């Protein structure tokens, strides 16, 4: 549900430099640009395929709520939003990374996918660990190991966008409010 | 008195209506230009519809350029193009369509839409090219572009600035892109360690001040793949004379304050530089030309947002004049715009290239991303004045791509293997 402030579930972990090709191999980008639409469910079937062939199938049962990643997650210089839709389509509620590429960060927030930057997260979380993540407090509790991690909460402006489910619904509401004032 | 700010910070402060901004600050900024292309136009316009928008914030500041698969290369693209045409008409947005097509990062400057002092956004990562004009130009996703087109505003985070102070004269055979290729090799590209991620790269110094606009665009273009947020050249008289013939928009020249704070300052003497080559399969696998001389090539291309400007065509013609492309090489040229095409026809550049056995294609991004004009087969090796060389980018995953300046590309086309242009001047 968009706007949830405390998220719970299992983590799936990948290393440094998982770029857009690993999140969603290029052969699936065409689908989006050719037909000019992005099908979340369809792209979700191929999420993380470039890093782990089994991820999407495992995630389809709702197994993983979090992708925990190393440095420069979502790099590779692609401004396309297909990788975000793939991750959302696989049922992932948030990405927690040591660092993220600029395009991935913007596109994730803009499409209602929380992206949290937390240094040291890959050393405190293993695949399958149960996490509880408090977006507004900036706290991750690893329920499996008992470890706690802090991260800088997202700025208020971005939290507002996430609460609305993304930049499109956020702008829609803003424009509607402004035009009703006129 | 406001705090000392860098050029990028000043432009962002003005766009946010603030006296000062600092790195890391979240702002809502006015967007002075937003543009998209054939492949993402439909998604962008559909987002506008989802927001309930019936028009764009300013039809003079929103643009579609057909470049990626232009003209259409199959029925899917033909249909997509028609849908984008219909949507653009509904929203009263100008399309640079077939006949006026070209690479959007060049078209916006050439046609006078992009001017110094504004923030501009485009749905493609090579948008950073436009920073050569002294504007903050950012690559964004389709969602951002749609919000910018509907409202004329976007949320942005102010980047820290890295200053690259470049001095010395570039030796014969080297061009501006060699500087950025060298730096990419040092700093890593966006797919890996990307030390420049999120930062503004300010390119300054006497070497940059002496550069033509074509060279400045190429310099900024190559920084895109270093993961930077934007690249920017301080505007000067070269910028002003470029604008004089092109734009009717009002513009502002901003300069960094003398005591502005930089995240890092790099000083680079380029007077002993040699051409740089990005080797397969990553833009930061950069080697000096001398280490890759003799590598056999099958395809040579001068094209793209990175290397298809008039200056690039001129240097190629200078080297190829009176010589032939090697019989085992296919050389394919694609200018960045229809206007460049026309100039190259009128000044005899294309005549020289045709006599050398070069195929002259139209203006499109196609050669660089394997969309049209250049498609590599298994085992083929290409050298091109293109920004990217990732595996499979130009067709077969079994092919290899070297990226280098147009002089190196032309010399290699003659030799049939990677060659030093200094032997042909």
pLDDT in tens, A23-64: 999 888 865 445 556 788 889 999 999 999 999 999 988 899
B52–chain A Cβ distance below 8 A for any pair: yes
Residues B353 and B303 in one domain: yes
- Domain with B386 in it: what CATH number? 3.30.499.10
B54–chain A Cβ distance below 8 A for any pair: no
What's the confidence (pLDDT) of residue B60? 97
Domain-embedded: residue B35: yes
> Rounded to an integer, what distance in angstroms lies between the CA atom of residue B169 and that of residue B172?
9
Query: With an 8 Å Cβ cutoff, are B26 and A33 in contact?
Result: no
> Rounded to an integer, what distance in angstroms lies between the CA atom of residue A114 and that of residue A162?
7
At B399, is the pLDDT very low, low, confident or very high (cuts 50, 70, 90)?
very high
Q: How many CB atoms lie within 10 A of CB B348?
A: 11
Domain-embedded: residue B123: yes
Residues B74 and B212 in one domain: yes
- Residues of B with Cβ-Cβ distance to A106 under 8 angstroms: 140-141, 144
* pLDDT of residue B364 exceeding 80: yes
What's the confidence (pLDDT) of residue A33? 46
Partnered with residue B64 across adjacent β-strands are B36, B95
What's the confidence (pLDDT) of residue A31? 53
The 10s digit of each residue's pLDDT in A102-113 is 999 999 999 999
> Rounded to an integer, what distance in angstroms lies between the CA atom of residue B240 and that of residue B246?
10
* pLDDT of residue B396 exceeding 50: yes
Domain-embedded: residue B144: yes
Residues B162 and B287 in one domain: no
Domain-embedded: residue B247: yes
Q: How many CB atoms lie within 10 A of CB B97?
A: 17
Query: With an 8 Å Cβ cutoff, are B147 and A167 in contact?
Result: yes
At B8, is the pLDDT very low, low, confident or very high (cuts 50, 70, 90)?
very high
What's the confidence (pLDDT) of residue A26? 85
What are residue A153's phi and psi, to 5 degrees?
A: -60, 155
> Rounded to an integer, what distance in angstroms lies between the CA atom of residue A47 and that of residue A113?
14
Compute the average pLDDT of residues B150-155: 98
Give the DSSP per-residue string, B170-213. PPTT--HHHHHHHHHHHH--TTTT-TTTT-EEEEESHHHHTS-H
Compute the average pLDDT of residues B24-40: 97
Residues B235 and B378 in one domain: no
Q: Count structural domains, chain B.
A: 2
Residues B57 and B171 in one domain: yes
The 10s digit of each residue's pLDDT in B224-240 is 999 999 999 999 999 99
Which of B214, B237, B269 terminates a domain? The answer is B269
Domain membership of residue B378 as a residue range: 277-423
Q: Which of A76, A79, A111 sits opposite B191 (nearest CB)?
A: A76
Instruction: Tell me the HSE value of B262 on the side-chain side, using a 13 A CA sphere.
Output: 19
Compute the average pLDDT of residues B368-376: 97
Residues B22 and B65 in one domain: yes
Instruction: Write down the ipTM of this complex.
Output: 0.94
Residues B56 and B129 in one domain: yes
Residues B169 and B306 in one domain: no
**CATH H-level superfamily of A6-181:** Aconitase, domain 4 (3.20.19.10)
Q: Which helix (H) or strand (E) holds A173?
A: helix A167-181
Domain-embedded: residue B69: yes
Residues B243 and B369 in one domain: no
B43–chain A Cβ distance below 8 A for any pair: yes
Compute the average pLDDT of residues B291-311: 98
Compute the average pLDDT of residues B294-305: 98
Compute the average pLDDT of residues A125-150: 97
Compute the average pLDDT of residues B154-172: 98
Residues B121 and B216 in one domain: yes
Percent of chain A exceeding pLDDT 70 equals 93
Which of B234, B269, B304 terminates a domain? The answer is B269
Nearest to B363 by CA among B124, B107, B45: B107
Distance of CA B86 to the CA centre of its chain: 28
How close does chain B come to A36, measured CA to CA in Å?
5
Residues B199 and B291 in one domain: no
Compute the average pLDDT of residues A90-95: 97
The 10s digit of each residue's pLDDT in A166-179 is 999 999 999 999 88
- Residues of A with Cβ-Cβ distance to B225 under 8 angstroms: 77
Domain-embedded: residue B2: no
How close does chain B come to A45, measured CA to CA in Å?
21
At B1, is the pLDDT very low, low, confident or very high (cuts 50, 70, 90)?
low
What's the confidence (pLDDT) of residue A37? 65
Check: pTM over 0.95? Answer yes or no. yes
Which of B253, B269, B285 terminates a domain? The answer is B269
* pLDDT of residue B269 exceeding 50: yes
Query: With an 8 Å Cβ cutoff, are A157 and B46 in contact?
Result: no
Domain-embedded: residue B326: yes
* pLDDT of residue A182 exceeding 90: no
Residues B80 and B164 in one domain: yes
What's the confidence (pLDDT) of residue A159? 97
Domain-embedded: residue B1: no
């Amino acid at each position: 549900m968009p706007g949830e402030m405390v998220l719970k579930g299992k983590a799936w972990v990948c290393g440094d430099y998982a770029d857009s090709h690993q999140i969603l191999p290029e052969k699936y980008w065409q689908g989006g640009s050719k037909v000019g639409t992005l099908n979340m469910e369809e792209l979700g079937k191929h999420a993380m395929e470039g890093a782990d062939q089994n991820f999407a199938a495992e995630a389809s049962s709702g197994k993983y709520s979090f992708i925990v990643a190393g440095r420069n997650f979502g790099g590779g210089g692609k401004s396309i939003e297909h990788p975000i839709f793939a991750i959302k389509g696989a049922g992932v509620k948030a990405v927690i990374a040591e660092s993220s590429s600029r395009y991935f960060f913007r596109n994730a927030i803009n499409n209602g996918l929380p992206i949290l930057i937390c240094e040291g997260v890959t050393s405190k979380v293993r695949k399958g660990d149960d996490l509880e993540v408090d977006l507004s407090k900036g706290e991750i509790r690893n329920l499996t190991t008992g470890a706690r991690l802090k991260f800088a909460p997202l700025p208020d402006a971005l939290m507002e966008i996430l609460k609305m489910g993304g930049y499109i619904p956020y702008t829609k509401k803003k424009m509607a409010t402004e035009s009703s004032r006129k | 008195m406001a705090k000392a700010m860098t050029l990028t910070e000043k432009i962002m402060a003005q766009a946010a209506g603030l006296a000062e901004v600092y790195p890391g600050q979240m702002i809502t900024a006015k967007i002075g230009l937003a543009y998209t292309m054939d492949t993402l136009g439909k998604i962008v316009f559909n987002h506008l519809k989802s927001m309930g928008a019936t028009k764009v914030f300013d039809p003079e500041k929103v643009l579609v350029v057909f470049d990626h698969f232009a003209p259409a290369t199959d029925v899917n693209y033909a249909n997509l193009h028609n849908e984008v045409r219909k949507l653009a008409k509904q929203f009263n947005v100008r399309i640079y369509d077939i006949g006026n097509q070209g690479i959007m990062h060049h078209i916006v400057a050439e046609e006078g839409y992009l001017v110094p002092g504004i923030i501009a956004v485009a749905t493609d990562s090579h948008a950073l090219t436009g920073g050569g004009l002294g504007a903050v130009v950012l690559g964004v996703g389709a969602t951002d572009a749609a919000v910018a087109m509907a409202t004329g505003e976007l949320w942005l985070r102010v980047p820290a600035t890295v200053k690259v102070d470049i001095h010395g004269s570039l030796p014969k055979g080297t061009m501006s892109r060699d500087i950025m290729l060298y730096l990419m090799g040092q700093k890593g590209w966006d797919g890996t360690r990307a030390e420049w991620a999120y930062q503004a790269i300010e390119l300054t110094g006497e070497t940059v001040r002496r550069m033509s606009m074509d060279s400045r665009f190429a310099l900024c273009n190559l920084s895109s793949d270093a993961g930077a947020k934007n690249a920017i050249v301080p505007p000067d008289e070269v910028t002003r004379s470029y604008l004089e013939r092109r734009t009717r928009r009002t513009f502002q020249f901003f300069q960094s304050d003398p005591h502005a704070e930089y995240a890092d300052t790099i000083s680079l003497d380029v007077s002993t530089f040699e051409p740089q080559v990005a080797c397969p399969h990553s833009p930061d696998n950069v080697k000096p030309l001398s280490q890759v001389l003799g590598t056999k090539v099958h395809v040579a291309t001068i094209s793209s947002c990175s290397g298809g400007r008039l200056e690039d065509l001129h240097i190629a013609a200078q080297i190829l004049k009176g010589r032939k492309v090697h019989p085992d090489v296919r050389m394919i040229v694609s200018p960045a715009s229809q206007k460049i095409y026309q100039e190259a026809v009128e000044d005899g550049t294309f005549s020289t290239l045709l006599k050398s056995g070069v195929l002259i294609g139209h203006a499109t991004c196609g050669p660089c991303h394997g969309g049209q004009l250049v498609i590599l087969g298994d085992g083929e090796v290409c050298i091109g004045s293109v920004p990217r060389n990732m595996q499979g980018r130009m067709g077969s995953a079994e092919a290899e791509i070297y990226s280098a300046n147009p002089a190196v590309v032309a010399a290699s086309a003659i030799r049939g293997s990677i060659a030093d242009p200094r032997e042909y001047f």
